[in-house]
Amino acid sequence: MSYRITYAPPADDALAKMRNAEAFRDVMERTIGRDPYGYGSTAVMDDRDRREATVLGAIALYYVSGSVLTVTVVRLVPGL
């Protein structure tokens, strides 16, 4: 089962400025998109569906919606 990954406007803006944006999207699809609760992600504020993970050196904060199989990246902090 795979999840569709969408980007909220703030995350999409940060992604547009990343030099490795295409590679980041690919890794997100292969990892978080296949297992949003895995890949070293952690729950934020004890909410199982609010997650944080480091992907290609960037911190991604995202929400998992199991009912519609969607991961929404709401904040993206590119690596320094």
Helical (H) or strand (E) element with 16: helix 9-17
- List C-alpha distances in Å: 41 to 55, 60, 69: 10, 9, 17
Joined tokens for residue 18:
């990343």
pLDDT at 73: 96
Q: pLDDT tens digit string along 8-54?
A: 999 999 999 999 999 999 999 999 999 999 999 999 999 999 999 99
pTM of the predicted model as reported, rounded to 2 decimal places: 0.91
- Say if CB 35 and CB 48 are below 8 A apart: no
Residue 60 maps to which CATH number?
3.30.2310.20
Residues 28, 50, 59, CA angle at the centre, nearest 5°? 45
Name the residue range of residue 43's domain.
4-77
pLDDT at residue 80 is higher than 60: no
Q: How many other CB atoms sit within 10 Å of the CB of residue 70?
A: 16
Q: What is the pLDDT of residue 48?
A: 96
**pLDDT for residue 79 is more than 90:** no
Number of folded domains that form the chain: 1
